[in-house]
Each structure stands twice: as structure tokens, then as C-alpha cells.
A and B are shown apart, each in its own frame.
Chain A
Amino acid sequence: MTRHIRKNEYQHKTRIDKIIKGAFFIVTLFCASIIFFIVLFIFIHGIKPFINQYQIGESWYRVDFWQFMTGTVWFQAPNVYGIGFIIINTLYVVGLALAIAAPVSILTALLVSRIAPSMIGKAITTVIELLAAIPSIIYGLFGMGVVTNFVKSLAKIFHYQSAGGLSTLSTVIVLAIMIIPTITMISITSIKAVKRDVIDASLALGASPTQTNFKVVLKSAQSGIFSGIILGVGRALGEATAVSMVAGNHGSGPTLNLFDTTRTLTSTMLLGLKETTGLDYDIRFSVGIILIGLILGVNFLLNMVKRRLSR
């Protein structure tokens, strides 16, 4: 009798187990499929301007995809959109931001984890963590209030009239500030993970601590540092709010002059958002597709480089 009850109870328990496992599995599947749905929905919505006809004034128009990809002017009435120059601008701005942020971050990480006394190291780590926690809207505010003024006076020194400081340079500076914490924190982790043996070996061979830090430690940590850079670039490419506040959204391009206003993919999507229907709204989703593609592409390329470096 007791045996019978036990068996029942056991079956009951396993049934509950199965139900719960099944429910959790469905939830997990849902969470994992989000990325799939995101890409799918944006793709479906974003190709509309190239397929559907939109009524503008009296006649019906669609957007030419080839012109869209290679154009050097964002909008020409009624139906010509171009983002070729915007892609170049975006890569240019992110590249320059990385050129500032990467050295600063790597050296900071080296100082925190190898050179500075632990008190200073901890203080700087706290500063970096605080910088990482500041939301992008506040960086945008800081960019508008401080960075643009700095760039404006810098432009004046070079006798150049900038648009109130809204410029490529401001965008680069704001982006650099925003990705420094990302790269630094991951670099710190990977530098701290360098094996003691490697460092000791270098010191035993007569290298000074500084030589060891710069030639051995950085070399051994390079794969981790590169992951940090990849993350930083991803963040810089997708950053919208802060960039929109300092870019100036130039209508044509590409902008290579540091003191001229620029336009990135994200600022194009965010600025001038008025109506929620029509061609001007839908075309932003097309820009979204390109942004996703660009991020995935750059990520893939950098990962290739990383694999080659670590070989």
C-alpha cells in the first residue's frame, strides 16, 4: 500500500518536473528568438520603401535602392534618399573615436592593474565604473554644453566658422568618452588574467617592470583587449541619443573636415522624427536594416582580425 502511494507520488513529481521544464523551455525559446524577430520585423518594414508605392502630393513614388545605397545627399524631394555618405561618415567618426579611446583605455587598464599602487588603482576603477554607468542622454547633454563649446573655440583658433560647435570632432570626442569605460573594463579583466609565470619569466630575463608591462603583459592580453575594442566599436556604431545631439545632421556629404557638421546612421534615424506614417518614417527602418548589417559586418571583420592576431 505504502509502496503504491510512493509510486504515485513519484509519478506526480516527475509530471510536475516535466511541465515546469517544458514551460521554462518555451520561455527560453522565446527569449532566444527575439533577435530573429527583431531582424525579421525590421527587414519586412525596411524594404517597403523600395517595393511599395507611396503617395506624395499627386503622384505615387518608390525609392530606388541603388541610389539609396550610393547617394551623397540624404533627401531630395520627392523620393530620392541616399545614405552612401552616411555610412562613410559613421565609419569615419567611429574610427576616429576608436583611435582616441583605444590607446587611452589600454594605458588606463595597464595602470590600474599593473603600475599604480592599489589605492590609486581602486580610485581609477571607481571612476571608470561611474563613467560606464552614466546614461547616454547625459553624455549628449555634456556634449552640447561643454564639448561643442570647446570645439567652437578650437575652430576659432584655426579661423574656421563651425556651426556652433556641432561637428565631426564633437561627435568623435563624445563617442570616445562613451566607449573608454567599455574598453578599459574588459582590458583590465584580461590584463589581470595574464599568468604570473609569464611576467616572472620576463623579469627573470632582466627586463624592467615597465618593459615587461608594455612588451609582455600587453602582448599576452591582446586577445582580451581586442574583444573590448570589438564591444566598444559595437557600442559606438549603435549610439544614437548622444550622437544626435552633437552631430548637426548635415544633409549631404561625406564630411571629412573635423569642424563641419556630420550625419551618422543613428542620428538620421532619430532626428526630425515627426510623423509616424509615410515614406519619411518608413525609410528610417531601411536605415535600421543598414545599421544592423553594418554592425554585424564590422563585428565579423574585427573577429576575423582577432583570430588572425591570436594565431
Chain B
Amino acid sequence: MRKAKDLFLNTITYISSGFGCLILIILLLFIFKNGIRLLDWSLITSDYHQETYQVNITNTKNYHLGDYRNPQMEGVIYSNVWGIGLQDDVDQNNEKIVTIKYLAPLSPFATIAKLEVGYQISKMTMTNETGDYLLALAKSGAEPMIAMLAEATMITDMIATSGGGGIRGSLLTTLYLIVLTLAIALPLGISAAIYLHEFAKQNQFTRIIRMMIDITTGIPSIIFGLVGAIVFIPMMNQTIQSNGGSIASGALTLTIVLLPIIIKTTEESLKVIPDSYRMASLALGASRSQTTFQVILPNAVCGILTATLLSIGRIIGESAALIYAVGTAIKDSVAMNEKSTSLAVHIWSLMSGENPNYELSCAISIIILLIVGIISLGVKVISRNINKMEVK
């Protein structure tokens, strides 16, 4: 009876921990299944907003039609009159588009319209020999478009787009945020940690200061966002002439989010340094500050590195604070005094619209997860080193 009960209880614990594992597996499956298709180099390097070209090919003297060679490409529908190969495709919003897969070197599309392979055609208006207008839309597919091209003699109006759907701007913004935030937060956080651990008398006053820093850790990030919106945005509007939220106001907001974390982590690493180091240095005639900068800090490097990594992880994952303190407009050109989105807020912008874009969101999520995974691995390796030092 007792054995059966024990077995039952043990089974329950296994089931509960299975729950956590199951969640992680489902989450990873979902993210990778949806996002892996978009994950390639062009995602990182291309702009989010599409470049649109409006062109026409109407001056019949400048081109000739009719005798282009068929390149025989798999799945490409080809017009030997115009020397262009098209293929049905879907864009990131899962809408049907027509992509240019082949252009003959002398095709009017290449020589006059200056289009390139990889551009997408959304609309084409043509006239045939008798002067009738023909309209081909991307949503009806490549085949009707080619069929109409076979009759057409002139392209009166055509809209093509290139690129788009990339995250270059958001990636840059995230990097800017990381560099700027760490440049402000690390010196402040480390000095505060050094003061609390090396200089301060451990009295009631220091205890209150510690408590206040602890409470700051428990404040949710959206509240920090509100502070960014009413304090840092006006401050930056005054100093660097930004208009509304900017990367600078976002970095200042993230600074106050991170300060308590940096102070805590650095202080933990200061605690590990044996007192004999301090005493030896002081006994040799070094002053307090010399000891701090030349003995304590070099030994606390691991802790400071951990704090840096944790901060980077937090910056990359932060969304609520930045939505308020910067804004949600996705930008391709990134500047300190302008709005743009970090990777996480980019996902928020994609998901909070009318048609949530799962594929691109999941692709960005894969990138975020990879970075976060590398960071937690790094923290683990460093903390193992710190533990070794403690044993010594």
C-alpha cells in the first residue's frame, strides 16, 4: 500500500516536469516549423519596406520583340516574345505574387525598364497591336500574364517591387540599443556595486539603499516604458532634437531597467573575491582606490562579463518598455534620434496588425532564441569559472 502510494507520488513529479519539457518542445517546433523557410542571409541584409518601381515600355523604336531563346528552367513560364521568365510565388504575407526568374540580356524589361531577376511584378497593363488594353494582375498568376505578353506590343504601365521583408533595420537598432545602453549602464552599475561592497559601511542606510535597488528589480517593464515616455522622450526631444520616441530615449529607459541587474550581478562577483587580496594590497601601501581599480576589478571581470551578457539578453528580449519609450514603427534607415524597432518590437508590430505575420515573426524569433541560447551558455561557462575561483 505504502509502495503503491510512493510510486504514485513519484509518477506525479515526473509528469509535472514532463509538462515543462513538453512546452519547450512544442514552442521550438512551432517557431522552427514556421520560421525556417525565411531564414537565410537575405533576411538579415535586406530592408523591411519594399522598393517600388513604376515603369513603362512604350517607345517601340528602342526594342525588338520575338526571337529570344528559351533557357529551359524548371517551373518557369517563359515568354520568347519578350525574353522574360516568370514564376508563381508567395510573399511573406502568404499572398500570391509573380517573381521574375529569368531575363534575356537584350529583353526590353532589362534594357529599358531596368528590372532585375528576383524582382516581383504586382501589376502590368499592356496594349496589343489593335490598341486594346490588357491587364494582368499578380494574384491571377504567371500563366495569364505570359499569355497576355505574347499578344502585347507595348507595356503602358507596370508596377514591380524588389526586396522587402528583411530585418536589417531592426537588427541594427538592436545593436545600437545594446551598445548605447551598456555604455551608460555598465559604468554606473559597476561603480554602484563597488561602492556598496567595497566602500560603504554596512549600516542601516546602506541596507535601505540595497532594499530600494531590490524593489526596482520587481517593477514590471511596462512601468519603465511609461517612465521612458514621460521623462526620457521629452528630455531627448530637448537635447538631440528628436521628434517623439528615439533610440536614445529607448537606451536611457533600458539603462534604468538594467541598473539593478548589473549592480546585483557585479556585487555577487565582488563577494567571491577573497578578503586576503584586499588586505595584501592595502598592506603593501596601496590606497583604497588603487586596490579597487588594480586588484578588485581585474578579479571581478567574470562577474562583470556575466552582467554584460545578462543585460544583452534582457535588451534583446525587451518589448513592453520599448513599445512606449521608442514606438512601433519599423524603419530601414536607423538613426539615434529617430524611431525604429528592436527585433522583439518588430515581432510585436508584425503580430499586432490586422494580418499577423507568423512566418517572419517566427524567423525573427529563431534569431532571438539563438542569441539568447548562446548568451545563457556563456553565462554558464563563466559561472563555472567563478565557482572554481571560490574553491581556491
Q: A residues near B, CB below 8 A? A: 13-14, 16-17, 20-21, 23-25, 27-38, 41-42, 45, 103-105, 107-108, 110-112, 115-116, 124, 127-131, 133-142, 144-146, 177, 180-181, 184, 208-211, 213-214, 231, 234-235, 237-241, 245, 266, 269-271, 273, 276, 284-285, 288, 291-292, 295, 299
Give the contacting residue for A127; candidates B20, B188, B231; CB below 8 A.
B20
With A and B bound together, what is the CA distance between A20 and B294 in angstroms?
A: 14
Range, interface on chain B: 35 or more
Tell me, yes or no, whether B389 is within 8 Å of chain A by CB.
no
Contact in complex: B223, A292 (CB < 8 Å): yes
Q: Report yes or no: B372 in contact with A23, Cβ–Cβ below 8 A.
A: no
Interface string of B201-218 (1 = CB under 8 A from A): 000000011001101101
Knowing A16-B287, A138-B365, A241-B320 touch, does A107 contact B351 (C-beta < 8 A)? no
Q: Tell yes or no: B330 within 8 A of A by CB.
A: no
Q: Is the CB of B290 within 8 A of A13?
A: yes
Docked CA distance A177–B358 (Å): 20
Q: Tell whether A38 pairs with B290 under 8 Å between CB atoms, given A136-B319, A288-B226.
A: no
Q: State whether B20 touches A131 (Cβ < 8 A).
A: yes
Known pairs A32-B209, A239-B220; list 5 more (Cβ under 8 Å).
Answer: A136-B317, A137-B317, A137-B345, A177-B23, A181-B20
CB <8 Å contact, A17 and B287: yes
Q: Which residue of chain A has the shortest Cβ distance to B17 in the bound complex?
A: A108
Question: Is the CB–CB distance between B209 and A28 below 8 Å?
Answer: yes
State in angstroms the CA–CA spacing of A91 and B215 once bound together.
Answer: 21
Q: How far is the CA of A108 from the CA of B13 in the complex (A)?
A: 6
Pair A295/B218 contact, Cβ less than 8 Å? yes
- CB within 8 Å of A: which B20-54 residues: 20-21, 23-24, 26-27, 30-31, 34
Contact A238 B221 (CB under 8 A): yes
- Residues of A with C-beta under 8 A to B21: 124, 127
A270–B323 CB distance below 8 A: yes
B265 interfacial by beta-carbon distance below 8 Å: no
> With a CB–CB cut-off of 8 A, which chain A residues contact B23?
131, 177, 180
Q: Is the CB of B16 within 8 A of A111?
A: yes
B331-367 with Cβ < 8 A to chain A: 344-345, 347-348, 351-352, 356, 358, 361-362, 365
* CA of A107 to CA of B244, assembled, Å: 48
A104 touches B209 (CB 8 A): no
B319 touches A266 (CB 8 A): no
> Are A238 and B348 in touch, CB under 8 angstroms?
no
Number of A-B contacts (CB under 8 A): 241
**Known A34-B256, A111-B16; contact A134-B209, beta-carbon cutoff 8 A:** no
A-B contact pairs, 20 of them (CB 8 A): A17-B287, A21-B195, A21-B289, A28-B200, A45-B230, A108-B20, A111-B13, A124-B21, A130-B373, A131-B20, A134-B372, A135-B317, A138-B365, A138-B368, A142-B27, A209-B6, A210-B5, A210-B10, A240-B220, A240-B320
CB of B142 within 8 Å of the partner chain: no
Set of chain B residues within 8 Å of A20, measured between Cβ atoms: 288-289, 292
- Grouping DSSP codes into helix (H, G, I), strand (E, B) and loop, the B interface class, with mixed when no group exceeds half, is helix
Bitwise, B102-134 to A at CB < 8 A (1) or not (0) is 000000000000000000000000000000000
Instruction: Output the least CB separation between B220 and chain A (Å).
Output: 2
- How many Å lie between the Cα of A25 and that of B201 in the bound state? 11
B154 touches A (CB below 8 Å): no
Contacts of A33 in B (CB 8 A): 212
- Given contacts A28-B209, A35-B212, whether A146 and B30 have CB atoms under 8 Å apart is yes
Q: Tell me how far the C-beta of A99 lies from the nearest C-beta in chain B, rounded to whole angstroms.
A: 14
A141 contacts B212, C-beta separation under 8 Å? no
Nearest neighbor of B245 in chain A, beta-carbon distance? A276
Query: Which residues does chain B contribute within 8 Å of A140, judged by CB atoms?
Result: 348, 351
List of A residues within 8 angstroms of B344 by Cβ: 135, 137
Determine whether the beta carbon of A29 is less than 8 Å from that of B17.
no
Given the complex, which residues of A lie within 8 Å of B223, measured CB to CB? 38, 42, 238, 288, 291-292
Closest B residue to A129 using CB positions: B376
Contact present for B9 and A142 (CB under 8 Å): no
Which A residues are CB-close (under 8 A) to B376? 129-130, 133
Residue of A nearest to B356 (CB): A144
The reply on B259 being an interface residue by CB < 8 A is yes
Question: Nearest 4 A-B pairs (CB), nearest first?
Answer: A238-B220, A135-B317, A24-B195, A210-B6
Check if B372 sits within 8 Å of A21, measured CB to CB: no
Residue of A nearest to B328 (CB): A273
Q: B97 on the interface (CB 8 Å rule)?
A: no
A32 x B26 contact (CB < 8 A): no
With contact pairs A211-B6, A273-B323, A292-B223 given, residues A31 and B192 touching in the complex (Cβ less than 8 Å): yes
Residues in B neighbouring A35, C-beta threshold 8 A: 212-213, 215-216, 219
Q: Which residues of A contact B372 (CB under 8 A)?
A: 133-135
Determine whether B227 belongs to the interface, using a CB cutoff of 8 Å to chain A.
Answer: yes
| A146 with B26, Cβ < 8 A, contacts A31-B188, A31-B192, A34-B259 known | yes
A111 partner residues in chain B, CB cutoff 8 A: 13-14, 16-17
Q: Is the CB of B351 within 8 A of A144?
A: yes
Q: How far is the CA of A180 from the CA of B216 in the complex (A)?
A: 22
Contact of A38 among B12, B208, B224, B369 (CB under 8 A): B224
Asked whether any CB of chain A lies closer than 8 Å to the CB of B77, the reply is no
Chain A residues closer than 8 Å to B229, beta-carbon distance:
276
Closest beta carbon of chain A to B41's beta carbon, Å: 22
Contact string against A for B residues 259-300, beta-carbon threshold 8 Å, 1 for contact and 0 otherwise: 110010000000000000000000000011110100000000
B20→A128 contact, CB < 8 A: yes
